Amino acid sequence: MKKFVILGGGYGGLTIAKELLDKHVPKDIEIILVDRMPFQGLKTEYYALAAGTVSDLELRVSFPAHAELTRRYGEVTSIDLENKTVHFMIGDPLEYDQLVIGLGCTDRFHNTPGAKEYASTIQSFNSTRQTYLRLNEIKPYGQVHIVGGGLSGVELAAELRESRPDLNISILDRGERVLTAFPQRLSTYVHAWFKEHQVDTMSHVAVSRVEPSAIYNRDTEMLTDAVVWTAGIQPVKAVQDLQVAKDAQGRILLNELYQIPQHPEVYVVGDCASLPFSPSAQAAEAQGERIAHIVRALWKGDTPHPHPIRLRGTLGSLGKKAGFGYGFMGAASLRGRIPRLLKSGVLWKSKRHFG
């Protein structure tokens, strides 16, 4: 029996598992899904969990129960590509014949002193729960600093404003505006929403260090009750340790079949893969569909014909009643109630697809 092992039950890994199980799986193939937890966490909504507007139960999707799927739970510590073996923090190693690396990402603190030790994050279910506890315990009129004015930071700030109208909230960004990857008109709209809802936005901030009760913009001290870091990601340590070619962000360079060129039995999906666009749940799902198609073709002895990945655009929320979008359904930009409803619809569809 050949082992097809999927490391990570996130958007990419779970899409591959579901796509393969929906079709005929050869009798000599065992599909093994490996994850730290017995469910998928809907990471695109972790900002709401941190803000306290949803429970963690709402963001869990159970892994599929299927006769041809074996589930194994554990923390992956290393991958031995030469000996085709996965090692765990606890438990026996797992050998594979084919492997999918979809272990996701962790925070990139850019060597900022104190950031890793004192800042809260929303990159994992566990860290998001801890962030919620920290934010929930802040007394009225306390100060929260959110580092990073990208999509995660913006959504967290807006959701926290609705959850805790008593808090002082500031977004710190090194650029000239929040959402620098989006069109100027959307940034202007978000800035106006923040101004109306009394969320402070600070541009051209260079965070030089973080302390238990302070954050520094170069040499300027700003007292704080909590710092939440949303200013960058990188692949998990097990992927960082792999001696393979990577891009400037530490993501693994792949061939046209999403394989590691020197190890064609190994596929990489999601945040660990070097792709021509920013990491996202949508990109991971689309890539997962392509990998499943490739794997099925190779199992049959056919020549795979991968299609280019095309994304549908990006949606973001500003609390529960407003949102914004870019490149979605052919629209250059969307603002207001409609993109927020569309984002809720995408979440509902995702739960149905995976659940």
Token duo for residue 6? 């999927």
Residue 65 has pLDDT above 90, yes or no: no
pLDDT at 48: 97
Residue 354 has pLDDT above 60, yes or no: no
pLDDT in tens, 219-270: 999 999 999 999 999 999 999 999 999 999 999 999 999 999 999 999 999 9
pLDDT at 329: 64
The answer to whether 135 touches 52, Cβ cutoff 8 Å, is: yes
C-alpha to C-alpha distance for 200 and 196, rounded to whole angstroms: 10
H helices present in the chain, as ranges: 11-22, 46-51, 115-118, 125-136, 151-163, 184-196, 237-240, 281-300, 337-354
CA 115 to chain centre: 19
**Amino acid at the residue 32:** I
Q: Can you give the pTM of this predicted structure?
A: 0.93
Residue 353 has pLDDT above 70, yes or no: no
pLDDT at 352: 63
Maximum distance among all alpha carbons in the chain? Answer: 64
**Amino acid at the residue 52:** G
CA 305 to chain centre: 28
CA-only gyration radius of the chain, Å: 21
